Every structure is written in structure tokens, then in C-alpha cells.
Amino acid sequence: MNSTEQYLVDEELWHYSQGWISRREFLRRATVLGAGAAAAATLGAITPAAVGAAPGAQVSPFHVPVGDPSVAADWVWYRSNGGVELKAYLAWPTDAAMTASLPGVAVCQENQGTNAYILDVTRRFAKAGYMAIAPDLVSRFGIPTDEFTEPTELTGAMRRLSDEQTPLDVSAALDYLRSHPAVDESKLAAIGFCMGGDVIWRLATMYPDLKAAAPFYGSNPSLDQVPNIRAAMLGVYGDLDTRTNVGIEALKDALQAAGITHRITIYPNSQHAFHADHRTQYNAETATQAWTDTLNWFATYLGLQPPTM
């Protein structure tokens, strides 16, 4: 099982432990992910909460609604290695001049594809003055996220993503930004959430022109590849995220030994996915702080003016 598959199974196990899905539904989803028998063996140690609907989500104060007049957005297709075409959501300030002046940022999704949250984050960057692109990773298989009608079908497509190929697809999205007439190709950044945080750590080891990156609660890249990182890395974690946090100390040691500019921040009273305002793990206070920290980090290492909040 690759890290993407393991991440997806762990997410469904979390949903089961919180009582959001039944044992039967968990096993159905785990089977789709090719881990039915192994997943069943883990259930004995878990006493789930009473089964019920997940609590309602909140809305980030940085939310940028569709149609905000300060932001333009569109779906585009771009080419990755091997000639495969991927769909992506592109957003930029409506008043941008096409004079190679905008910083560019790639936004890497969670395990739910380019959903409303990821599209909103992409628009948030546009509102902050960036040309932002969010690759729809499963679109490399011919069906974009918004065309799946059943969640387990999307889960099955996510399972097909490759640990090796996915960062290359995000690299190609950055190349798309570099070629855009509005983007300053010397000012490139990347951010990713959950599974996307994993991807951004790996991307940073293979994309030397990346200037700054902010993986949110992402698992470690191969530590022997850490010396290849050239970007200034802001690692964002929640103190209650015991699964992801296991690797932090080893990663910090590797970054320090390699002389990589970095800051690892562990936000208090925060679970995995605490920035995602469509999830019940959302923590409004620390999500706001992490977003502000990210914009300031990018501004510092892309040579931009500090953001105004």
C-alpha cells in the first residue's frame, strides 16, 4: 500500500472512530481502497462514538465567494509529463496586468479532490494578489472531481494516484504558471493540505525553482532527499494530530543538518485538517493564524510587500 492509499484508509478510520460512519460503511470504503482485511483487523482496538452525522462546518473569515468582483477564475487544462492532460482551477486578481508581475502559487488538494474548500483557498490567494492554480489530480484519469456522483468512486480514483507521479503533476502546474504572461517566474510558491501536504514536501525536493512552500500537516518526504530542497519551508501541524506528528523531530533534524530555511509550527488545540472550514476539525483561531503566517512567510521569501489583513 502506498502512502496515498494509507492516508485514505487512515482518514476513513478517523471518520469511523468519530461515529460519522458505521463499521459497515468503513469496511466498504476500506475495501474500495484495497485494505478490507487489514482494516478490519484494526477495529477491535477502537470504540467509536455513537454513529451520527458529522457536525456542521463553519466558514473561514478569509472565504472568497464565487463571483467576488476582485477575483477572476476559470478552469484550464495543462500538460504533465508523458503528454497527459490535467484539469486545474486558475484564479487571479481581476485588475492584474499581464506584465510578469504576479507571484504564483500551486494549491494541492486533500483526499476529496478539488472540492469547494480547495477552490476557495485558490481564490483566497488570488484576493491576496497571486496567480493561483489548483490541479485536479484525478483528472489525469479522464474524469475530473466534479463529475463523480458517488464518493467511493472518487475514493477509488484517488487510490490510483502515484506517490511518484503526483508531485510531478504539481510541478507541471507550476511550469504552467511560469509560462503565464502575468506571472513573475522567480516568485513561485506551493501549499498543500493533508495528502496535499505530503505532496508538497516531496515536490520541494524536486523543484529547485520553488522559493517558498507551506505543507499543512503533511507526512515527511524521504529524509535522504531533504538536502535537495531549495525553498523556504513552513511546516504547519496541529498538536492533537498524533499520527502525522510522529515524523516531525526527524524532519526538523534533517532540515537543520541540510541548512534548509524552515520553520515548523505546531498550533495548539488543533487536530489534523484544522484549517479546513468544511470539516469538523476546523479551529477558527489557529486556522486564521496559520493562514496569516503562510501569507507572511510567502511574502518574506518571494520578496513581496507584507500582506494587509
pLDDT digits (tens, 9 = 90+) for 234-282: 999 999 998 899 999 999 999 999 999 999 999 999 999 999 998 888 9
**What's the whole-number mean pLDDT along residues 133-143?**
97
Please indicate whether residue 49 or residue 210 has the higher confidence score (pLDDT): 210
Pairing of strands 85-93, 131-135: antiparallel
Q: What is the pLDDT of residue 229?
A: 98
Distant-in-sequence, close-in-space partners of 254: CB < 8 Å, separation ≥ 6 = 223, 226, 227
Question: What cell does 40 get?
Answer: 478490519
- Measured CA angle at 200 (ends 241, 133), to 5 deg: 115
User: pTM for the full model?
Assistant: 0.89
Beta bridge partners of 300: none
Alpha-carbon distances of 122 from 63, 128, 199, rounded to whole Å: 10, 10, 17
pLDDT digits (tens, 9 = 90+) for 14-27: 667 766 677 777 77
Give just the sign of the alpha carbon dihedral 218, 221, 227, 228.
Answer: negative
pLDDT digits (tens, 9 = 90+) for 82-131: 999 999 999 999 999 888 899 999 999 998 899 999 999 999 999 999 99
212 has pLDDT over 80? yes
Q: What is the pLDDT of residue 32?
A: 73
Give the active site residues.
Answer: 194, 241, 272
Residue tagged 486545474 (cell numbers): 88
**What's the whole-number mean pLDDT along residues 191-206?**
97
User: How many Cα atoms within 13 Å fall on the side-chain side of residue 223?
Assistant: 11
Q: What is the pLDDT of residue 44?
A: 57
- Rounded CA separation 278/57 (Å): 5
53 has pLDDT over 50? no
Taking all residues of the chain, what is their mean pLDDT, rounded to a whole number? 90
Q: Which helix (H) or strand (E) holds 21?
A: none
- Rounded CA separation 152/198 (Å): 22
- Measured CA angle at 199 (ends 212, 4), to 5 deg: 165
- Rounded CA separation 239/286 (Å): 11
Q: What is the pLDDT of residue 279?
A: 86
Buried b (16+ CB within 10 A) or exposed e, 141-174: eeebbbebeeeeebbbbbbebeeeebbbbbbbbb
- Is 1 in contact with 34 (CB distance < 8 Å)? yes
Q: Give CA 54 to chain center in angstroms.
A: 22
Q: Which helix (H) or strand (E) holds 234?
A: strand 232-238
Q: Closest by alpha carbon to 107, among 227, 226, 188?
A: 188
pLDDT digits (tens, 9 = 90+) for 139-155: 999 999 999 988 888 88
- Is 98 in contact with 154 (CB distance < 8 Å)? no
- Is 300 in contact with 77 (CB distance < 8 Å)? no
Query: At how many degrees (to 10) do helices 151-159 and 23-32 cross?
Result: 40
- Rounded CA separation 163/186 (Å): 27
